[in-house]
């Protein structure tokens, strides 16, 4: 799995605090004042101001199973590599940590057979969009996700939870690390979840 932060609103904490201060006609120069205000807004549940900052991630090497879960988040925007247009003959399978070495050997053998059938179908003139029906859910995919900070917090809260599956949890843990590094006050309350120290969202 690879997670790259392609874009994040520059000085996001500054921007969010500035937007929030419009409602009170107040101002501040010190970035620490901005962070204090952001923490207070989050604690009070006034998260709509977080919508003014956004981030874009490029994510690769996750399974289609994981991508299916991620793309259920309707307020995020996505572009996913298309199996209708991109040849899947060189694609790899994602290995679940619960698989033993024997399980993994068997899964790879099955995947090899599926790819062989896929290649045969293509050679017979079947279009990629139909040949892909023989490919498994564990095949890797690549996508771009953009969302505002409020929605990112929502996704992280749900998907860092121990109830979520290991792959999307690992993905969200990496997203959290990147977001926290750039805008700590907006994401620091999610640290216990990101570090697996909290039971539920």
Ligand X SMILES: Cc1cc2nc3c(=O)[nH]c(=O)nc-3n(C[C@H](O)[C@H](O)[C@H](O)COP(=O)(O)OP(=O)(O)OC[C@H]3O[C@@H](n4cnc5c(N)ncnc54)[C@H](O)[C@@H]3O)c2cc1C
> Which residues participate in catalysis according to the annotation?
159
CB 197 within 8 A of CB 183: no
Residue from the set 22, 31, 48, 75 that interacts with ligand X by CB under 6 A: 75
Q: Give Cβ neighbours of residue 150 (< 8 Å, ≥ 6 apart).
A: 47, 48, 50, 51
- Alpha carbon of residue 178 to chain centroid: 11
Residue from the set 74, 98, 101, 200 that interacts with ligand X by CB under 6 A: 74
Residue from the set 73, 157, 173, 182 that interacts with ligand X by CB under 6 A: 73
Q: How far is the CB of 158 from ligand X (least distance, A)?
A: 4
Q: How far is the CB of 159 from ligand X (least distance, A)?
A: 6
Q: Which DSSP string do the residues of 138-167 spell out, in sequence order?
A: TBEEEEEEEEEHHHHHHHHHHHSSTTS-HH
Residue with smaller CB distance to ligand X, 22 or 75: 75
Residue with smaller CB distance to ligand X, 20 or 147: 147
Residue with smaller CB distance to ligand X, 47 or 58: 47
- Is 45 one of the binding residues for ligand X (CB under 6 A)? no
The phi-psi region of residue 196 (left if phi > 0; otherwise alpha if psi is between -120 and 50; otherwise beta) is left
- For strands 2-8 and 140-148, give the pairing: unpaired
Go through 154-165 and write b for each residue having 16 or more CB atoms within 10 A of its CB, e for each that does not.
bbbbbbbbeebe
DSSP 93: B
Size of the site for ligand X (CB under 6 A): 10
Piece in contact with ligand X (CB under 6 A), picked from 24-32, 71-79, 131-139, 183-191: 71-79
- Is 164 one of the binding residues for ligand X (CB under 6 A)? yes
Residue with smaller CB distance to ligand X, 153 or 174: 153
- Is 65 one of the binding residues for ligand X (CB under 6 A)? no
> How many Cβ atoms from other residues are within 10 Å of residue 2's Cβ?
10
Residue with smaller CB distance to ligand X, 25 or 74: 74
Q: From CA 137, how far away is CA 95, in angstroms rounded?
A: 11
Q: How far is the CB of 164 from ligand X (least distance, A)?
A: 5
Binding region for ligand X (CB under 6 A): 72-75, 151, 154, 158-159, 163-164
């Amino acid at each position: 799995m690879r997670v790259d932060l392609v874009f994040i609103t520059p000085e996001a904490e500054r921007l969010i605090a500035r937007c929030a201060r419009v409602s009170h006609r107040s101002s501040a120069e010190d970035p620490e004042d901005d962070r204090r205000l952001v923490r207070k807004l989050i604690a009070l549940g006034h998260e709509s101001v977080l919508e003014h900052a956004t981030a874009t991630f490029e994510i690769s090497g996750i399974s289609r199973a994981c991508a299916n879960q991620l793309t259920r988040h309707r307020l995020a925007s996505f572009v996913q590599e298309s199996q209708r247009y991109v040849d899947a003959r060189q694609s790899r399978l994602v290995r679940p940590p619960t698989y033993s070495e024997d399980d993994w050997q068997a899964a790879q053998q099955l995947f090899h057979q599926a790819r062989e059938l896929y290649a045969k179908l293509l050679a017979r003139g079947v279009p990629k969009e139909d040949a892909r029906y023989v490919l498994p859910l564990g095949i890797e995919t690549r996508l771009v996700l953009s969302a505002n900070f409020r929605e990112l917090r929502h996704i992280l809260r749900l998907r860092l939870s121990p109830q979520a599956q290991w792959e999307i949890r690992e993905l969200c843990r990496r997203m959290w690390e990147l977001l926290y590094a750039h805008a700590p006050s907006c994401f620091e309350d999610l640290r216990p979840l990101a570090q697996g120290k909290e039971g539920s969202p």
